[in-house]
Chain A
């Protein structure tokens, strides 16, 4: 069905984006991030209900934002510490 295909595409897309994003994860990509990413998606691979799949994609998008925020805040704090005079 077209709807299912579109959803399938979205799931794959967000998976690839998370994989790309995870390369710089502080706790490690190969040993920490990638296995957990795989596990999280595998756990939901049996889902049939479209609403539930959409919810899963939303959750993945949320995680993407969380990771981006993590990278940003970690860097912000590091640079702030190094370059700002203590107030």
Chain B
């Protein structure tokens, strides 16, 4: 177990650094002292008795620091998960807490659980993935420990300096923390998770404060699909009033739809003008559709009716007016005469098949 002196020394060091007072002993060998005293707790995720392999990224990240790395996992039947995790190279120990109350990762009781085990272990760093679990939980732990968490880091420059994206990645911030412990969530893609092999960590039971949890987990839906309406179409092509007539709508749209393997839709204006049947009208019932591709041609106005398509993966538009509002919302836009572009698109798509 961690010698009490080590804890006290580290806390004292942090306080002194924060208050910008120095004690001579620390000053002389500050870096070396802190270097020796690093240790990291990597929070691992489990689901229904299976180790979440992407959460191993916390361990990969921790390997950039010196000092021992301990894994932590909690839930029902979690000893087996701990055993699997113990095979990850670089881990000294895996701490597990077997208690079904932690299965859903509810922060109300999980946070006190972590606080207890972090304090007991005297860790200088605590890493978790910036996953739904980590995002939900870690800040609550930070507040209980009175430290300022650093979220979603993409790089570790030193034990106290990290890089993270801000402004949705439009800028990269290098930030330094003097808090202890340092609570950090890591961007999984920046620290590829290693495999669970080659290691032989010890396994140990952790402490369980059994804090009550006022929140109740009810259900989940992980096969979520926002795809009613226009069948479960993966692609939708819609024609608007720009097609000028029912004949032209029927001449241009079905071949394009076939070339794309898409369902056909129509704007309200097109339906009102009699170009297409009511059943093709896109976005009228307020139902959300989320195809991979939503391509609209000749739809200049009627932005409101696009609301039902707002969860499409990609929205593309062909329109002859370069100022058409649709171009403000579409991810890809082609300015041109649809009577020229739509057949050309159909032809090129068919040629590539």
Contacts and interface: CB of A to CB of B under 8 A. Distances in A.
**A–B direct touch, CB within 8 Å, in complex?**
yes
Interface of A: 26-27, 32, 65-66, 69-70, 72-74, 76-77, 80-83, 86-87
Interface in B297-353: 301-304, 306-307, 310-311, 313, 315, 323, 325, 328-329, 331
Contacts of B307: 69, 72-73
B1 interface: no
B328 A70 contact: yes
B32 interface: no
Given A77-B331, A80-B311, A66 B168 contact: no
A58 to B, nearest CB: 15
A5 B328 CA distance: 38
B168 A76 contact: no
B310 A74 contact: no
B303 A66 contact: yes
Chain A to chain B: the 8 pairs with minimum beta-carbon distance, closest first: A82-B168, A69-B304, A69-B303, A73-B329, A70-B303, A26-B328, A70-B325, A74-B328
Given A66-B301, A74-B329, A27 B310 contact: no
Contacts of B315: 77
Q: Which of B302, B307, B313, B329 has the most CB of A within 10 A?
A: B329
Nearest to A87: B313
Contacts of B329: 70, 73-74, 77
Contacts of B169: 82
Contacts of B313: 86-87
Nearest to B306: A73
B44 to A, nearest CB: 20
A27 B304 contact: no
B323 A32 contact: yes
A66 B323 CA distance: 15
23 contacts: A27-B323, A66-B301, A66-B302, A66-B303, A66-B304, A69-B304, A69-B307, A70-B303, A70-B328, A70-B329, A72-B307, A73-B310, A74-B329, A77-B310, A77-B315, A77-B329, A80-B310, A80-B311, A82-B168, A82-B169, A83-B168, A86-B313, A87-B313
Contacts of A80: 310-311
B227 to A, nearest CB: 12
Contacts of B328: 26, 70, 74
Interface in B140-199: 168-169
Contacts of A26: 328
Most chain B C-beta atoms within 10 Å of own C-beta, residue among A32, A66, A73: A73
Contacts of A70: 303, 325, 328-329
Nearest to B329: A73
A69 B306 CA distance: 9
A32 B328 CA distance: 14
Nearest to A83: B168
A76 to B, nearest CB: 5
Contacts of B302: 66
B53 to A, nearest CB: 17
Nearest to B312: A77
Given A69-B303, A69-B304, A77-B331, 19 more contacts: A26-B328, A32-B323, A66-B304, A69-B306, A70-B303, A70-B325, A70-B329, A72-B307, A73-B303, A73-B306, A73-B307, A73-B310, A77-B310, A77-B315, A80-B310, A80-B311, A82-B168, A83-B168, A86-B313
